[in-house]
Amino acid sequence: RCPRVACPQSAQYGSCSLRRMSVMEALELLDQLVDESDPDVDFPNSFHAFQTAEGIRRAHPDKDWFHLVGLLHDLGKVLVLFGEPQ
């Protein structure tokens, strides 16, 4: 069993009291930020999530869990909109 490591973000965001949203709402929020790791991209950040999921689906059609991971992999970046650093 892995030990739990306490972190300030867990205490701050773990209760989900700041804001509740669906996955689609979180994906749409991604479009409001400029990703420091890729600032020159001309398309929305949500497009990257769908593009990643679709690429994984094509490469691994039998692993639906992996398609979902591709879609969700950048969702944590919405925390930038709530004051967290990139």
* pLDDT attached to residue 6: 66
Q: Is the pLDDT of residue 55 over 60?
A: yes
Stretch 48-64: mean pLDDT, rounded? 95
* Per-residue pLDDT tens over the stretch 69-86: 999 988 888 888 888 888
Residues 6 or more apart whose Cβ sits within 8 Å of residue 82: 18, 19
* pLDDT attached to residue 69: 94
**How far is residue 7 from each of residues 4, 10, 13, 17, 36, measured CA to CA in Å?**
9, 5, 10, 17, 24
Question: Is residue 52 a contact partner of residue 70, using CB atoms and an 8 Å limit?
Answer: yes
**How far is residue 79 from each of residues 2, 27, 49, 82, 83, measured CA to CA in Å?**
25, 12, 16, 5, 7
Q: Closest Cα to residue 21, out of 86, 83, 82, 69?
A: 82
Q: Is the pLDDT of residue 49 over 70?
A: yes
Task: Find where tokens 């972190």 sit.
Answer: 7
Q: What is the pTM of this model?
A: 0.73
Q: Is 67 one of the annotated binding-site residues? A: no
* Per-residue pLDDT tens over the stretch 14-46: 777 777 889 999 999 999 988 787 767 788 889
Q: Is 48 one of the annotated binding-site residues? A: yes
